[in-house]
Amino acid sequence: MALLTLGLNHTTAPVELREQVAFDASRLPDALAQLTQQFPGVREGAILSTCNRTELFLAIDGDDEPDIVRWLAGFHAVDAEALAPHIYAFKDLKAAQHMMRVASGLDSLVLGEPQILGQFKDAIRTARDALTCGTELEQAFSKVLSIAKRVRTETAIGRNPVSVAYASVNLASRIFSDLSSCKVVLVGAGETIQLVAEHLNGQGVRGIDVVNRTLANAETLAASIDGFAWPLTELGERIQHADIVIASTGAPVHVLGKGMVERAQKARRQKPMFMVDLAVPRDIEPEVGEIDSVYLYTVDDLQAVVEEGLEQRQEAARHAEQLIKDALDDWQREIRGYRAVDTIKQLRDSTQELSEHELARAIKALESGKPADEVLQQLSRNLTNKFLHAPTVALRSAAEQGDLSLIEATHRLFTIDDIEDLD
């Protein structure tokens, strides 16, 4: 049985195509059933589907690869010829290597992003529930998750910010020892602020205030993080309770002026306020940074943090790639060991059969009254001759044909010390 990974991702296909072949969670069980029932050679299967990739992990019989691309196209009503150029496929250890890189965040749009590992686990869980995850995939997934965990714990792949959203939260955590106890106001409800909200949630921050010009958008974001939505007219009031203010609205003029922040700080009795302006043009008046109790950072200030974080992640990625290489080397040794198991068993069985046959003859000889020493000597000769008959014939034939590799292998196999010059 062989391991096969097949799919497309953000590097091989545009978002328009990725959208068309993404699997809704509700359709995954049906898709997995089709895969394992429609193709006799597909014994096991799992599907990972995210916004950036759709990948199929399969255990297949033999070397004949089923036409999974055509099936994938048909399942999603997409033209197979248009889909095929964007598909990649890996087999056996190359497939395992790809899976390890995916689960470790090395193949992600954002290097080292942690969400993919949870998504990978969800894919495994779904396959198990659908009863399409068997011995082969379970073994592969066990090794993949093990190496992904090592990458997370033994490298700094996910510890350094590589986006301004993450950098904002990372910087805030350096100023406040316990972010979960901070009151946060987010100004805006676009993609950047959504990412900020997710990172803050991950740090245990709850009850976040989302202030936005369009209240409906604020309500949508607030609902996703168990926060509170406010119209922009409430901004001055909300920041009077804020330890952290992060803004990204895309407005053409400043939405936070120095006077508004001074009034808020007066009400807060000059408690430190951390402010980040991620917008271009800026949302916060530059003069706000002149207030003694306010720590104001712009997107340019954070860019250095991001570049430093990216460099550190790239170094961590090199370490992670070595961990994966070592794991694959170990796995390859295991596979080679498995291949020897059948041979070893056959060798033991045939040897045991010969031994039992000769032992039965020896017992009969003893029962007929022959002296024990003669019987034992004959037993020893018979065992030696029968054990070595086939190897002896093979070695003579190899020597006559000039094939010295079998002779050398025999020396290694039986640890013969007096190796002669075979040349």
Other Cβ atoms less than 10 A from the Cβ of 19: the count is: 12
Q: What is the DSSP letter of 144?
A: H
Q: Is 51 a catalytic residue?
A: yes
Q: How far apart are CA 31 and CA 76, in angstroms?
A: 10
Q: How far apart are CA 319 and CA 329, in angstroms?
A: 16
For 289, 376, 396, the CA distances from 352, given in Å and listed in that order, are 86, 18, 25
Q: How far apart are CA 230 and CA 133, in angstroms?
A: 47
Nearest 5 degrees, angle CA 198-CA 201-CA 202? Answer: 90
Q: How far apart are CA 138 and CA 125, in angstroms?
A: 11
Q: Are 303 and 164 in contact (CB under 8 A)?
A: yes
Per DSSP, the three-state class of 196 is helix
Q: Where are the alpha helices (DSSP H) in 225-288?
A: 235-238, 258-267
Q: Are 7 and 17 in contact (CB under 8 A)?
A: no
Per DSSP, the three-state class of 68 is helix
Q: How far apart are CA 237 and CA 247, in angstroms?
A: 15
State the catalytic residue, choosing from 15, 51, 304, 359: 51
Q: Are 242 and 254 in contact (CB under 8 A)?
A: no
β-pairing, 244-247 vs 53-60, is unpaired
Closest CA to 231 of 218, 243, 222, 221: 218
Token pair for 312: 């550190």
Per DSSP, the three-state class of 110 is coil
Ramachandran quadrant class, 377 (left: phi over 0; alpha: psi -120 to 50; beta: rest): alpha
Closest CA to 96 of 57, 153, 70, 65: 57
Question: What's the one-letter identity of residue 130?
Answer: A
Q: Are 341 and 349 in contact (CB under 8 A)?
A: no
Q: What count of residues does the chain have? A: 423
Q: What is the DSSP letter of 347?
A: H
Is 219 buried (19+), middle (13-18) or exposed (0-12) by CB count in 10 A? middle
The residues that are catalytic are: 51
